[in-house]
Amino acid sequence: MTRSRLPTAQNVAIPEIPVEESLSLSPQDSALIVVDMQKDFVHPEGALHVEAAPETVDNISGLIARARENGVLVIYTQDTHTEDDKEFDIWPRHCVRDTWGWEIIDELTPEPGELVIQKSRYDAFYGTSLDHYLTHVWDVKNLIIVGTVANICVGQTAASAGLRWIQVVTPADGISALTDFDQAGALRQISMLYNGTVLAQAADIEFGGR
């Protein structure tokens, strides 16, 4: 019986990821979701620090500002756990409700009235009201996804959006991962499996028209 060969750094090639140079979206049917930009992930002293995450903060901040200026919905997710969460069988203790690490970083503080989705699993749609607001209240057609971690909470949220036929848009400099492989894999899945749009920079997204 022939055993499948496990991939190694020597035999895994990254397929080409199509990248758009620019994209113009209608503010009326678009939303921006900022995934898990919390102190436990972004701050160097966080329990599950993602080294690449701080590099995305300015890019995300600029995109949020432009979204707000153009009347685009801005949504946040907040990874939220209890002290005895089963997820701690997989990951170290992190983002326990009302702790310092659970807080969204100061640079990206939500404004009053912006929706903050507290989620207990990777997927922001799982067990939350996100689907209700995106598809039934606001009729969002385009969902820009930024944040961390690219192949985990960002990727799982992108998957659920894609399965709902929401157009997923992801700027590569607006997401971060634990490894370059994970970053590339997430962008590959978004562009290929869910027919999403990948851009190199958040600055390449424009808002205008209907």
**Letter for the amino acid at 193?**
L
On the question of pLDDT at 130 being above 90, the answer is yes
Average pLDDT, the chain: 94
Give pLDDT, residue 210.
55
Q: Read off the pLDDT band of 4 (50, 70, 90).
A: low
Contact partners, residue 197, CB within 8 Å, separation at least 6 = 20, 23, 167, 168, 169, 170, 191
Partnered with residue 207 across adjacent β-strands are 25
Where do the domains of the chain lie? 33-83+92-207
- For residue 34, give the H/E element and its range: strand 30-35
Q: Which of 41-45, 98-102, 205-209 has the lowest mean pLDDT?
A: 205-209
17 burial (CB, 10 Å; 0-12 / 13-18 / 19+) is: middle
Question: 174 by DSSP, 3-state: which?
Answer: helix
Q: Read off the pLDDT band of 209 (50, 70, 90).
A: low
Structure tokens at 165: 């036929």
Give pLDDT, residue 14.
77
The mean pLDDT of 104-121, rounded to a whole number, is 98
On the question of pLDDT at 96 being above 80, the answer is yes
Structure tokens at 132: 């209700």
pTM here is 0.94
On the question of pLDDT at 198 being above 90, the answer is yes
The mean pLDDT of 143-147, rounded to a whole number, is 98
On the question of pLDDT at 102 being above 90, the answer is yes
The mean pLDDT of 3-29, rounded to a whole number, is 83
CATH architecture for residues 33-83+92-207: 3-Layer(aba) Sandwich (3.40)
**Four-point Cα dihedral 180, 125, 30, 162, nearest 10:** 60
- For residue 205, give the H/E element and its range: strand 205-207
On the question of pLDDT at 17 being above 70, the answer is yes
Q: Is the peptide bond before 116 cis (omega within 30 degrees of 0)?
A: no
Q: Read off the pLDDT band of 12 (50, 70, 90).
A: confident
Give pLDDT, residue 118.
98
CA proximity to 141, closest of 110, 169, 173, 170: 169
Q: Residue 202 half-sphere exposure, CB side, CA atoms within 13 Å? A: 24
Number of Cβ within a 10 Å radius of residue 45: 9
- For residue 147, give the H/E element and its range: strand 142-148
